[in-house]
């Protein structure tokens, strides 16, 4: 079966004051329909840039040097900004941001913001035969209220009339999940949506997401730095280090037998909640000056001379995971 | 500092501003050496009144036959000194008041900020004109009036910054380890509050030159025969529109100088403003 | 909301009182003799002495101040030593002219400055931004009077499109005074010829006066937009596929104009006093020229009244500004 | 590089301005259709308010000559005092009792007839208010001494003989008590009402709704004026006074036809440009308005005659008059306008001569005068001409070693300061205009020590012989008896050189070429509209 989302060999660099920074070097991942893909990496590894590249919202000065982003059989990189806006964002790819407080516009009512999205991207938005104007808006409101109720937001009818700061953190995240689903997209990208929440709320949100994937028939790309979350939620896993996919495959397989030394080191540090990476000696090479060999080699306990010679190729590990390490080449 | 300069060097308008400011500074310092007719600061030559620009007088001559080019150069010193005097006086008054009001809180703060409000409400021009009357119009009266009306801007900025900083963890920690008030205020809060102050000051320098020119226009600023730019414009009014050069060149001098300070100030603000800094 | 306004209004009173006291003392130390001003050029010393007693100018200063405050409380601003008309009447006649001019200038500043500021912010550190920054600074730095004369030369003399000076053509019959605003009164009287004539007279002074404010508004809007563009919600809104124009002009803009609105409040007070030069060049019959006249003739009652007026306008505008802030950002209203 | 090229390149964007200025000068501009054939748009200044008994200055003269009438009026150039409301007058030989006979059939603007009672009311009102125009009368006339003998005869009984009495009669406007009385508030003689309204009989009627102090004033023709309109078949029917503050606006407005005349103080440097235009020209008229640099004779070194003579020889009179004023003034070395009677034929003033100035400097120093003391010259900042004169003086004084500082000041401060000798500046600059045509207006009030404390006498000059002469001249009735007294006084004053007398003014007024029939007189300065016709 063709994956919903497939990223191949993506390379993105950004012009900075100090020179060209290679944020993404070689990222590849696949997300199958109806599954949940966890994308894991340290902060600064390029996770946000990956999301931005998929959505087509790269910061000024950033260029895609190489690679492909296939979504439902179309190459998103070939889309113009207007096409992305018209045909992809919200309507086909929903987005759940990291910090629900900062992501909502503080000076507009929640309803205004959500309806603004639906006005342009809801399934009936471009339907010339469907209801128009006030009637269509009414339909949108009804759908939103339904969604909010499903998300267990209290008082869903009045919620639309309130401002973001009048909700608690967990409620805001539920609002954003509802917003992501409002236009019935096939794919939802979630950017560390639980980081800002306390542990209990975090757990509730994860449960909710798990249910929604099945209920709404969506595929979910879940970006996080937290292996614990991945273990709880995801079907597949993609580990990114210094702008490269180093290991990808089914979650179960990788967690049981991590193949790449980086994945191993991560899991060794904090098998459950790998939120800090202090356990790995050395530091990530600067994106301004990537060494020629394996990017993890300077920190790798198993590094050999071969590792410094050139970028290691992808190989298949016994666990079934694709791994970027000379051991499996 | 090096960091700021390097950032600045990438900001074209800001570099333009810096260039202008340095140029005016050179004019102010070396003016009498650079002016072709330095004696025209005071002399008058009735036989060559109101000549249009020519090779001998690139900017033309004024109503007393003086070389406008020389007078524009000679005027830089006055313009800069009024700007520097006003802004530094305003800072001397405004910054400490802002620190006190921001750090102390309570009725002291309330009192200071109320007074600041009252002063902000005094129309600057009215005060300047009234003082000009009181002291007989002169550069000094104009400077005093402008200083007396400009300090609240600094008080407000420093007050806001101090309030923000003194609520911060870092100052809390200092208090915790028993640092004295004056130590906290002068060594820790003031340097942190300084960048918006510097930005405001840079823009204020330009602003002051302009208001001084308006006072000159109303006959309340510098007194003749000082080679003051604003005064020259005021004097030129009688001869417009025929003697266009008389108003134009001093006007350009004001325009370029004020522009220089403002571009520099804007550039600095972009660099030191932490919120905008993130984008760069 | 009503409570908020009331509270602010009451807080303004001590400030105005302080303003009045400061101005009163300040004007008292000015050497020109109001009695002499009242008596006129050809007056004899006896005439002057008589006026001094008549107007209580020989009384102690605190007594004069108390009398004055009592009168102000009943809206009696005294009599101009120069025109010998009640100051309140003069101000009532002139204030609409200045307000109309100020308002138009401000409208130009806002409707031109905000879009330009947004464009500058969107094109941060690219050519449009550089150009707009330089031009906005030019707007602040150009001497208003020079610009005014250039406008006169171009639009009144060379092209003949707009009138040179004044508020209304001399041949026009003034409409009956209802609001005092020429443009409004013309409409009330159904006189469209007067209406267009008055509007045409407004253009050049308003454009001249708008320059400084325009530049300020461009700068603050630019800074606000730059600030807002850094916010997470802008990325979120783009990711959600907000239409580009609506994103910028509705969702970003409303978050960006807080500082601009504050500046409008500061500008308004400045414009009223700063209209002096513009009113002089275009012979605009407003408060600015009145103030200069009062200062040149040592007319204390007028100087006091004008200061009080500008202070009041300043305070009122700032209350309005706070209200606008509240409307723009619901969080502020709740905090207040 | 040739001059113009340099200018063009350097001026950059401003070339546009220059080019426009050039075309304006060339006269290729459109004419604004601001005025129609019966509306005259006047650029004369407006008085502080409209009450002729409260204000008396040059703008008031221009206003009241149109809105009000006087018993006698100055006409023509040189000025002659001619019967106006009064058809004749008599005076007793001792000069104490004056009787004026009114014409019959004079109507006020409200249609009511003017009688001698109205004249009595007007003079009593003027005296009761005691403001500017009353200055000449307060000491010699009591309100009850003005009486109506019969409906057409008014009698004035003076306290003492006062020769300038008759000369000052044209300064008093006759007002209509029937319009004023209903508007009187707490015995103010209708002061606040008349400040914004009209109650006269003059050729033009004030339109109260068209008045805003100092900004604009609309007047319309009074068809029933007692002199009739037979002399002028096509008079100005609407008079719109639109004073313009800025010289540049004034000139532009004249050049585009939106002003029919400017005020009388056009700078000489604008003359050529206006004369080059197709629609306007500059009218030059000699008036009686002298320019003086005052010296405070009580402050050293000005208490020393040689010091004063030194200063008097250091001013470049002809340079100032010829170069700065473009020759539009006459050198007037006397304490009086040179076109008035009373000047001694043999009097010779002082010339610009730095060598002589140096000699006097040395003499003054020898007598212990502190010539090294920095002195101040106060000017009226808003008046460009006085500022230029001061700077010229300054640069010459610097050559002979005198340190003079120019101080900008304003009229109200200066007149206040002049009230006491110690607050009066070392030197200051002002003009003395024609309030009434009599030597008393100049030399009499400037150098009689009884006027010390008024700005006119701010030299604080005191010479008992001069006092005696001036006082005698004041109470002597016949001009031929007064003339030698003034001549003698002036000789003595000039010998003492208390002030520096510079010039007598030529007034420059820009006029639209459609303005015909203008009559000039130094009092009113051509503002009397009843003579004017608009061409086309």
| CB of D315 closer than 8 Å to CB of D293 | yes
User: N- to C-terminal Cα distance for chain B?
Assistant: 17
D250 interaction partners in chain B (CB closer than 8 Å): none
Distance between B216 CA and the closest CA of chain D, angstroms? 10
Confidence of residue C316 (pLDDT cuts 50, 70, 90): confident
Contacts 24+ apart (CB under 8 A), B3-11: B4/B268, B4/B271, B4/B272, B7/A17, B7/B271, B7/B280, B8/B267, B8/B268, B8/B271, B10/A17, B11/B267, B11/B270, B11/B271, B11/C125
User: Are the Cβ atoms of C157 and D192 closer than 8 angstroms?
Assistant: no
* Residue D108 resides in a domain: yes
User: Using one digit for the tens of pLDDT, what is the confidence trace for D422-453?
Assistant: 989 999 999 998 888 999 999 999 999 999 98
Taking residues A241-262, what's their average pLDDT?
A: 90
User: Are the Cβ atoms of C281 and D417 closer than 8 angstroms?
Assistant: no
> Can you say whether the dihedral through the CA atoms of C138, C140, C143, C148 is positive or negative?
positive
Chain C stretch 162-201, residues whose beta carbon is closer than 8 A to a beta carbon of chain A = none
The domain spans of chain A are 5-92+185-279, 106-184
Using CA atoms, how far residue B218 sits from B205, B237, C284, C320, in Å, is 20, 11, 16, 32
User: Using one digit for the tens of pLDDT, what is the confidence trace for A32-41?
Assistant: 999 999 999 8
Residue of B nearest to A60 (CA): B279
Helices (H) and strands (E) in chain B, counts: 12, 0
| CB of D395 closer than 8 Å to CB of B42 | yes
User: N- to C-terminal Cα distance for chain C?
Assistant: 9
Q: Which residues of D202-232 are buried (b: 16+ CB within 10 A; e: fewer)?
A: bbbbbbeebbbbbbbbbbbbbeebbeeeeeb
Q: How far apart are CA C81 and CA C295, in angstroms?
A: 11
Q: Which helix (H) or strand (E) holds D253?
A: helix D247-255
User: Are the Cβ atoms of C235 and A105 closer than 8 angstroms?
Assistant: no
| CB of B109 closer than 8 Å to CB of C257 | no
Confidence of residue D245 (pLDDT cuts 50, 70, 90): confident
- The reported pLDDT for the residue numbered D510 is 94
Q: Are residues D213 and D120 in the same domain?
A: no
Torsion-angle region of A93 (φ positive above 0: left; ψ -120 to 50: alpha; else: beta): beta
* Residue D273 resides in a domain: no
D1 interaction partners in chain B (CB closer than 8 Å): 55
Give me the residue label for tokens 């002089």.
Answer: C280
Touching subunits of A (3+ CB pairs, under 8 Å) are B, C
User: Using one digit for the tens of pLDDT, what is the confidence trace for B98-108?
Assistant: 988 888 878 88
Which residues contact residue D204 at a Cβ distance below 8 angstroms, ignoring those fewer than 6 apart? Answer: D66, D67, D219, D220, D221, D222, D239, D529, D530
User: Are the Cβ atoms of C50 and D130 closer than 8 angstroms?
Assistant: yes
Residue of B nearest to D413 (CA): B133
For the entire predicted model, the pTM comes to 0.84
CATH of domain C87-297: 1.10.3720.10
The answer, for B123 touching chain D at a CB cutoff of 8 Å, is: no
Q: Strand locations in A127-203, DSSP E?
A: 187-191
Give me the residue label for tokens 């009114």.
Answer: D102
- The reported pLDDT for the residue numbered C32 is 62
The domain spans of chain C are 87-297
Confidence of residue B277 (pLDDT cuts 50, 70, 90): very low
The answer, for C272 touching chain B at a CB cutoff of 8 Å, is: yes
The domain spans of chain B are 2-40+54-278
| CB of A9 closer than 8 Å to CB of A67 | yes
Q: Are residues D337 and D382 in the same domain?
A: yes
Q: How far apart are CA B58 and CA B71, in angstroms?
A: 12
Q: How far apart are CA D121 and CA D439, in angstroms?
A: 29
User: Using one digit for the tens of pLDDT, what is the confidence trace for C70-125?
Assistant: 888 888 888 887 777 889 988 988 889 998 999 999 999 999 999 999 999 998 87
Which of B251, B221, B235 has its CA nearest to residue B65? Answer: B235
Distance between C220 CA and the closest CA of chain B, angstroms? 10
Chain B stretch 199-218, residues whose beta carbon is closer than 8 A to a beta carbon of chain C = 206-207, 210, 213-214, 217-218
Q: How far apart are CA D232 and CA D532, in angstroms?
A: 8
Helices (H) and strands (E) in chain D, counts: 17, 18
In percent, how much of chain D has pLDDT > 90? Answer: 69
Distance between C317 CA and the closest CA of chain D, angstroms? 27
User: Are the Cβ atoms of B133 and D410 closer than 8 angstroms?
Assistant: yes
Token pair in block for residue D232? 């002028």
Q: Cα angle at D462 between D456 and D466, to 5 degrees?
A: 90
Taking residues B85-93, what's their average pLDDT?
A: 93
Which of A173-177, C60-64, C155-159 has the lowest average pLDDT? C60-64
The two beta strands, A62-71 and A74-75, are antiparallel
Using CA atoms, how far residue C114 sits from C107, C110, C137, C244, in Å, is 10, 6, 15, 17
DSSP conformation letters of D188-206? STTHHHHTSS----SSEEE
Which residues contact residue A134 at a Cβ distance below 8 angstroms, ignoring those fewer than 6 apart? Answer: none
Question: Which of C236, C251, C331 is nearest residue A97 as measured by Cβ atoms?
Answer: C236
Q: How far apart are CA A44 and CA B167, in angstroms?
A: 31
Token pair in block for residue D71? 């018993």
Distance between C110 CA and the closest CA of chain A, angstroms? 21
Residue of A nearest to B9 (CA): A17
Q: Are residues D176 and D210 in the same domain?
A: no
Which residues contact residue B8 at a Cβ distance below 8 angstroms, ignoring those fewer than 6 apart? Answer: B14, B15, B18, B267, B268, B271
User: Using one digit for the tens of pLDDT, what is the confidence trace for D308-339?
Assistant: 999 999 999 999 999 889 899 999 999 999 99
User: Are the Cβ atoms of C29 and B258 closer than 8 angstroms?
Assistant: no
- The reported pLDDT for the residue numbered C39 is 67
The answer, for C138 touching chain B at a CB cutoff of 8 Å, is: yes
C137 versus A162: the higher-pLDDT residue is A162
Q: Cα angle at C314 between C313 and C319, to 5 degrees?
A: 95
CATH code for the domain of D217: 3.40.190.10
Q: How far apart are CA D215 and CA D205, in angstroms?
A: 18
- The reported pLDDT for the residue numbered A1 is 63
Strand partners of residue D89: D100
A17 interaction partners in chain B (CB closer than 8 Å): 7, 10, 280
User: Using one digit for the tens of pLDDT, what is the confidence trace for D107-147?
Assistant: 999 999 999 999 999 999 999 988 878 888 988 999 999 99
Interface mutation vs chain C, best among A86, A107, A196, most C CBs within 10 Å? A107
Question: Touch between chain B and chain D (3+ CB pairs, < 8 Å)?
Answer: yes
Q: Which helix (H) or strand (E) holds D399?
A: helix D384-399
| CB of D267 closer than 8 Å to CB of B238 | yes
D277 interaction partners in chain B (CB closer than 8 Å): none
Using CA atoms, how far residue C158 sits from A131, C201, D21, D510, in Å, is 58, 16, 9, 20
User: Using one digit for the tens of pLDDT, what is the confidence trace for A84-120?
Assistant: 988 899 899 999 998 888 889 988 999 999 999 998 8
Taking residues D501-518, what's their average pLDDT?
A: 93
Q: How far apart are CA D160 and CA D139, in angstroms?
A: 9
A89 interaction partners in chain C (CB closer than 8 Å): 238-241
Confidence of residue A46 (pLDDT cuts 50, 70, 90): confident
Q: Are residues D345 and D209 in the same domain?
A: no
- The reported pLDDT for the residue numbered D28 is 37
Q: How far apart are CA D391 and CA B226, in angstroms?
A: 10
| CB of A51 closer than 8 Å to CB of A187 | no
The CB-side HSE value for B2 (13 A sphere, CA atoms) comes to 0
User: Using one digit for the tens of pLDDT, what is the confidence trace for B23-50?
Assistant: 999 999 998 898 898 888 888 888 888 8
Confidence of residue A307 (pLDDT cuts 50, 70, 90): confident
- What are φ and ψ of residue D75, in 5° steps? -135, 160
B278 interaction partners in chain C (CB closer than 8 Å): 230
Please count the residue pairs, one from chain A and one from chain B, whose beta carbons lie less than 8 angstroms apart.
Answer: 3
A19 versus A186: the higher-pLDDT residue is A186
Q: Are residues D309 and D250 in the same domain?
A: no
Q: Cα angle at C78 between C75 and C80, to 5 degrees?
A: 135
User: Using one digit for the tens of pLDDT, what is the confidence trace for D287-305?
Assistant: 999 999 999 999 999 999 9
Q: Are residues D100 and D249 in the same domain?
A: no
Token pair in block for residue D6? 């340099």
User: Using one digit for the tens of pLDDT, what is the confidence trace for B117-165?
Assistant: 778 777 676 677 667 766 666 778 788 888 888 898 889 888 888 887 7
What's the domain range around D20? 6-50+202-260+514-534
C316 versus A163: the higher-pLDDT residue is A163
B235 interaction partners in chain D (CB closer than 8 Å): 384, 387
Which residues contact residue C259 at a Cβ distance below 8 angstroms, ignoring those fewer than 6 apart? Answer: C220, C223, C224
Q: Are residues D215 and D300 in the same domain?
A: no
Taking all residues of chain C, what is their mean pLDDT, rounded to a whole number?
Answer: 83
Question: Which of B121, B258, B275 is nearest residue C227 as measured by Cβ atoms?
Answer: B275
- The reported pLDDT for the residue numbered A38 is 93
* Residue D274 resides in a domain: no
CATH code for the domain of D369: 3.10.105.10
Q: Which helix (H) or strand (E) holds A16?
A: strand A5-16
Q: How far apart are CA D302 and CA D296, in angstroms?
A: 6
The answer, for A15 touching chain C at a CB cutoff of 8 Å, is: no
D86 CB burial (10 A radius; 0-12, 13-18, 19+): buried
Confidence of residue D371 (pLDDT cuts 50, 70, 90): very high
User: Using one digit for the tens of pLDDT, what is the confidence trace for B196-240?
Assistant: 788 788 878 888 888 887 777 777 778 788 888 888 888 888 887
Question: Three-state SS for C104?
Answer: helix
The answer, for A60 touching chain B at a CB cutoff of 8 Å, is: no
User: Are the Cβ atoms of D316 and B46 closer than 8 angstroms?
Assistant: yes
Longest alpha-carbon distance in chain D: 83
Distance between A94 CA and the closest CA of chain C, angstroms? 7
Q: Which CATH superfamily is domain A5-92+185-279 in?
A: P-loop containing nucleotide triphosphate hydrolases (3.40.50.300)
| CB of D43 closer than 8 Å to CB of D61 | no
Confidence of residue A311 (pLDDT cuts 50, 70, 90): confident
User: Are the Cβ atoms of A117 and C330 closer than 8 angstroms?
Assistant: no
Question: Touch between chain A and chain D (3+ CB pairs, < 8 Å)?
Answer: no
Which of C109, C126, C118 has its CA nearest to residue C221? Answer: C118
- The reported pLDDT for the residue numbered A270 is 60
CATH of domain B2-40+54-278: 1.10.3720.10
Q: Cα angle at D522 between D517 and D526, to 5 degrees?
A: 25
- The reported pLDDT for the residue numbered A196 is 75
- The reported pLDDT for the residue numbered B175 is 77
Distance of CA B171 to the CA centre of its chain: 33
| CB of A123 closer than 8 Å to CB of A184 | yes
DSSP conformation letters of D154-186? EEEEESS--TTHHHHGGG-----HHHHGGG--T
């Amino acid at each position: 079966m063709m994956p919903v989302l497939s990223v191949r060999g993506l390379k993105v660099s950004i012009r900075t004051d100090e020179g060209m920074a290679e944020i993404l070097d070689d990222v590849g991942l696949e997300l199958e329909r109806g599954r949940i893909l966890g994308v894991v990496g340290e902060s600064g590894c390029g996770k946000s840039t990956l999301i931005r590249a998929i959505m087509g919202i790269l910061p000024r000065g950033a260029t895609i040097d190489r690679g492909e982003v296939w979504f439902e059989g179309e190459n998103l990189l070939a889309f113009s900004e207007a096409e992305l806006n018209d045909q992809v964002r919200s309507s086909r790819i929903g987005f759940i941001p990291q910090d629900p407080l900062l992501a909502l516009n503080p000076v507009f009512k929640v309803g205004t913001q959500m309806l603004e999205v639906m006005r342009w991207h809801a399934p009936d938005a471009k339907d010339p035969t469907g209801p128009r104007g006030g009637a269509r808006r009414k339909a949108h409101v009804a759908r939103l209220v339904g969604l909010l109720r499903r998300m267990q937001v209290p008082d869903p009818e009045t919620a639309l009339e309130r401002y973001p700061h009048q909700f608690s953190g967990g409620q805001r995240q539920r609002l954003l999940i509802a917003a992501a689903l409002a236009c019935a997209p096939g794919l939802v990208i979630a950017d560390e949506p639980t980081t800002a929440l306390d542990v209990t709320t975090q757990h509730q949100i994860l449960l909710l997401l798990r249910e929604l994937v099945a209920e709404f028939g969506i595929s979910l790309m879940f970006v996080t730095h937290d292996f614990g979350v991945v273990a709880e939620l995801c079907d597949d896993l993609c580990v990114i280090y210094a702008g490269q996919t180093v290991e990808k495959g089914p979650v179960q397989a990788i967690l049981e037998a991590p193949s790449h030394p980086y994945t191993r080191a991560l899991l060794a540090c904090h098998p459950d909640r790998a939120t800090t990476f202090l356990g790995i000696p050395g530091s990530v090479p600067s994106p301004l000056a990537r060494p020629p060999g394996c990017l993890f080699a300077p920190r790798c306990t198993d590094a050999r001379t071969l590792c410094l010679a050139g970028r290691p190729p992808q190989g298949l590990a016994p666990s079934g995971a694709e791994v970027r390490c000379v051991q499996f080449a | 500092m090096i960091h700021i300069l390097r950032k600045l060097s990438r900001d074209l308008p800001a570099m333009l501003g810096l260039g202008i400011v340095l140029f005016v500074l050179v004019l102010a310092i070396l003016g009498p050496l650079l002016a072709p007719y330095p004696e025209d600061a005071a002399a008058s030559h009735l036989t060559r009144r109101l000549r249009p620009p020519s090779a001998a007088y690139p900017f033309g001559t004024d109503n007393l036959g003086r070389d406008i080019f020389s007078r524009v150069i000679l005027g830089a010193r006055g313009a800069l000194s009024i700007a520097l005097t006003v802004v530094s006086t305003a800072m001397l008054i405004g910054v400490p008041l802002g620190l006190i009001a921001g750090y102390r809180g309570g009725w002291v703060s309330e009192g200071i900020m109320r007074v600041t409000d009252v002063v902000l409400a005094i129309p600057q021009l009215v005060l300047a004109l009234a003082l000009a009357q009181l002291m007989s119009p002169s550069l000094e009266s104009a400077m005093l009036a402008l200083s007396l009306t400009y300090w609240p801007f600094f008080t407000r900025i420093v007050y806001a910054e101090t309030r923000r900083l003194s609520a911060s963890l870092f100052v809390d920690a200092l208090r915790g380890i028993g640092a004295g008030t004056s130590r906290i205020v002068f060594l820790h809060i003031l340097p942190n509050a300084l960048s918006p102050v510097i930005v405001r000051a840079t823009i204020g320098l330009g602003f002051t030159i302009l208001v001084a020119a308006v006072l000159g226009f109303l006959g309340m600023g510098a007194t003749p025969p000082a080679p003051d730019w604003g005064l020259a414009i005021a004097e030129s009014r009688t001869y417009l529109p025929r003697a266009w050069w008389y108003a134009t060149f001093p006007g350009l001098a004001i325009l370029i100088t004020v522009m220089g300070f403002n571009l520099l100030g804007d550039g600095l603000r972009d660099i030191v403003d932490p919120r905008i800094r993130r984008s760069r | 909301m009503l409570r908020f306004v009331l509270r602010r209004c009451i807080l303004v009173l001590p400030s105005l009182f302080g303003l009045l006291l400061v101005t009163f003392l300040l004007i008292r130390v000015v050497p020109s003799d109001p009695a002499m001003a009242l008596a006129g050029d050809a007056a004899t010393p006896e005439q002057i002495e008589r006026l001094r007693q008549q107007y209580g100018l020989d009384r102690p200063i605190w007594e004069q101040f108390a009398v004055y405050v009592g009168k102000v409380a009943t809206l009696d601003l005294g009599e101009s030593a120069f025109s010998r008309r009640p100051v309140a009447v003069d101000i009532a006649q002139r204030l609409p002219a200045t307000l109309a001019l100020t308002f138009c200038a401000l409208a130009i500043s806002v409707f031109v400055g905000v879009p330009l500021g947004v464009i500058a912010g969107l094109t941060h550190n690219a050519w449009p931004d550089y150009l707009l920054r330089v031009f906005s600074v030019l707007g602040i730095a150009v001497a208003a009077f020079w610009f005014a004369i250039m406008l006169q030369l171009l639009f009144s003399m060379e092209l003949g499109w707009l009138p040179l000076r004044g508020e209304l053509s001399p041949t026009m019959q003034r409409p009956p005074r209802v609001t005092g605003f020429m443009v409004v009164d013309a409409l009330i009287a159904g006189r469209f010829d007067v209406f267009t004539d008055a509007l045409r007279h407004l253009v050049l002074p308003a454009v001249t006066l708008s320059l400084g404010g325009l530049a300020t508004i461009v700068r603050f809007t630019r800074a606000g937009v730059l600030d807002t563009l850094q916010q997470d919600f802008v990325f979120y809104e783009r990711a959600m596929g907000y239409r580009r124009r609506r994103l910028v002009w509705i969702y970003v803009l409303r978050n960006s104009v807080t500082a601009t609105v504050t500046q409008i409040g500061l500008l308004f007070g400045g414009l009223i006093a700063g209209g002096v030069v513009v009113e002089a060049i275009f012979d605009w019959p407003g408060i600015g020229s009145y103030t200069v006249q009062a200062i040149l003739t040592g007319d204390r009652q007028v100087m006091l009244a004008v200061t009080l007026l500008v202070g009041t306008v300043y305070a009122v505008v700032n209350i309005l500004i706070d209200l606008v802030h509240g409307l723009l950002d619901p969080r502020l209203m709740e905090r207040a | 590089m040739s001059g113009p090229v340099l200018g063009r390149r350097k001026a950059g964007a401003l070339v546009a301005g220059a080019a426009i200025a050039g075309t304006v000068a060339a006269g290729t501009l459109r004419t604004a259709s601001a005025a129609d054939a019966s509306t005259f748009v006047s650029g004369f200044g407006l008085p502080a308010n409209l009450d002729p008994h409260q204000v008396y200055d040059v703008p008031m003269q221009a206003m009241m000559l149109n809105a009000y009438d006087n018993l006698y009026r100055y006409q023509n150039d040189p000025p002659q005092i001619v019967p106006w409301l009064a058809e004749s007058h008599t005076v007793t030989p001792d000069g104490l009792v004056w009787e004026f006979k009114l014409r019959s059939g004079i109507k006020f603007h409200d249609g009511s007839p003017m009688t001698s009672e109205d004249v009595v009311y007007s003079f009593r009102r003027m005296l009761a208010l005691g403001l500017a125009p009353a200055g000449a009368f307060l000491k010699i006339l009591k309100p009850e001494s003005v009486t109506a003998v019969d409906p057409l005869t008014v009698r004035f009984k003076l306290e003492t003989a006062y020769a300038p009495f008759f000369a000052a009669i044209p300064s008093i406007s006759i007002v209509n008590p029937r319009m004023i009385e209903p508007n009187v508030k707490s015995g103010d003689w209708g002061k606040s009402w008349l400040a914004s309204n009209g109650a006269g009989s003059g050729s033009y009627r004030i339109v109260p709704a068209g008045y805003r102090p100092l900004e604009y004033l609309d007047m319309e023709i009074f068809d029933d004026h007692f002199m009739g309109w037979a002399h002028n078949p096509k008079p100005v029917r609407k008079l719109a006074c639109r004073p313009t503050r800025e010289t540049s606006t004034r000139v532009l407005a004249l050049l585009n036809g939106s002003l029919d005349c400017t005020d009388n103080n056009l700078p000489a440097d604008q003359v050529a440009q206006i004369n080059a235009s197709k629609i306007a020209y500059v009218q030059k008229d000699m008036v009686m308005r002298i320019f003086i640099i005052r010296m405070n004779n009580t402050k050293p070194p000005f208490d020393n005659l040689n010091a004063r003579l030194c200063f008097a020889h250091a001013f470049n009179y002809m340079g100032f008059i010829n170069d700065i004023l473009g020759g539009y003034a006459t050198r007037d070395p006397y304490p009086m306008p040179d076109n008035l009677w009373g000047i001694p034929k043999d009097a010779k003033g002082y010339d610009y001569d730095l060598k002589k100035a140096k000699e006097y400097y040395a003499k003054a120093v020898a007598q212990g005068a502190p010539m090294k003391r920095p002195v101040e010259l106060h000017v009226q900042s808003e008046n460009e001409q006085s500022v230029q004169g001061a700077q010229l003086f300054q640069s010459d004084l610097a050559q002979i070693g005198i340190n003079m500082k120019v101080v900008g000041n304003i009229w109200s401060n200066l007149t206040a300061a002049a009230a006491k000798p110690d607050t009066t500046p070392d030197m200051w600059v002002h003009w003395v205009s024609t309030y009434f045509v009599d030597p008393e207006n100049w030399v009499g009030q400037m150098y009689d020590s009884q006027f010390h404390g008024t700005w006119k006498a701010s030299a604080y000059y005191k010479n008992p012989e001069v006092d005696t002469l001036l006082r005698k001249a004041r109470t002597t009735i016949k001009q031929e008896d007064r003339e030698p007294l003034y001549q003698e006084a002036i000789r003595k004053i000039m010998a003492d050189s208390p002030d520096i007398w510079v010039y007598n003014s030529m007034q420059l007024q820009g006029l639209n070429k459609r303005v015909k029939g203008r009559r000039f007189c130094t009092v009113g300065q051509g503002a009397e509209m009843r003579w004017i016709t608009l061409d086309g």
